[in-house]
A and B are shown apart, each in its own frame.
Chain A
């Protein structure tokens, strides 16, 4: 679904991504792990055109999207759940969800999807009239995921969905990711929490200072001595 070839991105003056290549096959969960500052977020931001790629190509469904506009990508089913949730705290929960469907024209379907998201996250239904800013971090993360689902994604890019959440809620979130994937949504996941991420991933890439240093099946990476030492704390 997504194919990145020899991508270079500069972030401010820093050479943040130094020629990475990766592939996300349809229907799979692929994770990108690595320490803070390795360039994981920048990679996702470059896919969504929140950062401008300097060199290299990004393709989506076999089409070159290296310079495509963000809004067009969203319309075509490429959706990012940003780091730190970034829900609209000044809007109600329901307004946030409806905005998720902003690019869609099929209003009947949107309504159905809204009910579906409420089924998936009953907590959001309880709080639909509440301002998003009044909810807890975990609830906001659910809202961020629900909002992204309202865009009808084919590929969901997720930037640190477990950030700042209690272990029990992290488990919830990852169960939901798996559930979404089982419905046919391809997922590219970024995590510092390498263990949880690799456990649910079909394939994984390890990033260090702007380069991909290791890749392999999720299970294999979990067993890898270097990964264990550097990221799994074993």
Chain B
């Protein structure tokens, strides 16, 4: 492999990894606070791409308006999913909530098929993002720079919110012990809504970037990235935000590199992610960043 193609693969790996990371954060945040895998997360991600599509093609919004609208509406959509599918089951066994999550996911997918139609649509990519940067003989699409930058910026803002603000402190408190959090006067339901809102907004950012890189929209487009991001979250240690990002980059990069170095294995690309999941679950179930916490009683 020439150095040129290697750099191209590297930039593709970074971009794909960033996208997984953005989606994985949503899984990990919700898990951290509710101990629930939000199976509808990939579908929430999918919704954001269609909001942009309709915003631009039907409501004739400028692309950046459509992006902002999509991020906000997807955030609200995530909050709504929690209200309808998870909140009524707050005191039920965890398995019921999990089944409800799977149900929510199927419902959103099938409603999307009915409403948006099964025929693929083209994500409206602004010209700006379609440019390609040339360095000597290496050509790298603009998006490949843009995607990791947006991801890291979002991560920095998120970590600031979680670690430095009062709301973030409340989120961490709720994730530890939500009865004790209630005793501090924290409205636990609000904090859970905020968590879903933030996670879904990050998924929307991921969705928009995904659309720019892979502009073919179908209602089931959230399934595979959703599963991969879930695997990324598990690799990083579910519940840990930085872990989710590391897991995302690791998974994206290895997927691309496997194809790059062993083109004959291209067909096994998806299988690889699942093999990795099984290996992690077998050898380090707490993930890379997860610790087995010992607590004083």
Contacts and interface: CB of A to CB of B under 8 A. Distances in A.
Interface of A: 48, 50, 70-71, 74-75, 79-80, 82, 84, 86-91, 95, 98-100, 102-103, 133, 135-137, 140, 147, 151, 164
A70 B166 CA distance: 19
Contacts, number: 73
Contact of B296 (A98, A136, A147): A136
Interface of B: 166, 169-170, 172-173, 175-177, 179-187, 293, 295-297
Contact of B184 (A89, A133, A135, A147): A147
A147 B175 CA distance: 18
Question: What 8 pairs between A and B have smallest CB-CB spacing?
Answer: A103-B185, A74-B185, A86-B180, A102-B184, A70-B182, A71-B185, A88-B176, A88-B173
Given A90-B176, A91-B169, A102 B183 contact: no
23 contacts: A50-B182, A50-B183, A70-B183, A71-B182, A82-B179, A82-B180, A87-B180, A88-B172, A88-B176, A89-B293, A89-B296, A90-B175, A90-B176, A91-B173, A95-B172, A98-B169, A99-B169, A99-B170, A99-B184, A133-B295, A133-B296, A136-B296, A147-B184
A60 to B, nearest CB: 15
Given A102-B170, A133-B296, A164-B297, A151 B184 contact: yes
A82 B183 CA distance: 8
A151 B185 contact: yes
Given A70-B185, A91-B172, 11 more contacts: A71-B185, A74-B184, A82-B183, A86-B179, A86-B183, A88-B172, A89-B176, A89-B295, A95-B172, A99-B173, A136-B296
B69 to A, nearest CB: 33
A135 B295 CA distance: 10
B159 to A, nearest CB: 15
Nearest to A86: B180
Contacts of B297: 84, 164
B183 A80 contact: yes
Nearest to B180: A86
Given A86-B177, A99-B173, A137 B296 contact: yes
Give the one of B170, B173, B176, B183 with max A CB within 10 A.
Answer: B183
Nearest to A164: B297
A210 B185 CA distance: 28
Contacts of B172: 88, 90-91, 95
Given A91-B172, A136-B296, A71 B187 contact: yes
Given A88-B172, A89-B295, A100 B177 contact: no
A47 to B, nearest CB: 11
Give the one of A87, A88, A91, A164 with max B CB within 10 A.
Answer: A88
Contacts of A70: 182-183, 185
A100 B176 CA distance: 15
Nearest to A72: B185
A50 B184 CA distance: 13
A137 B297 CA distance: 7
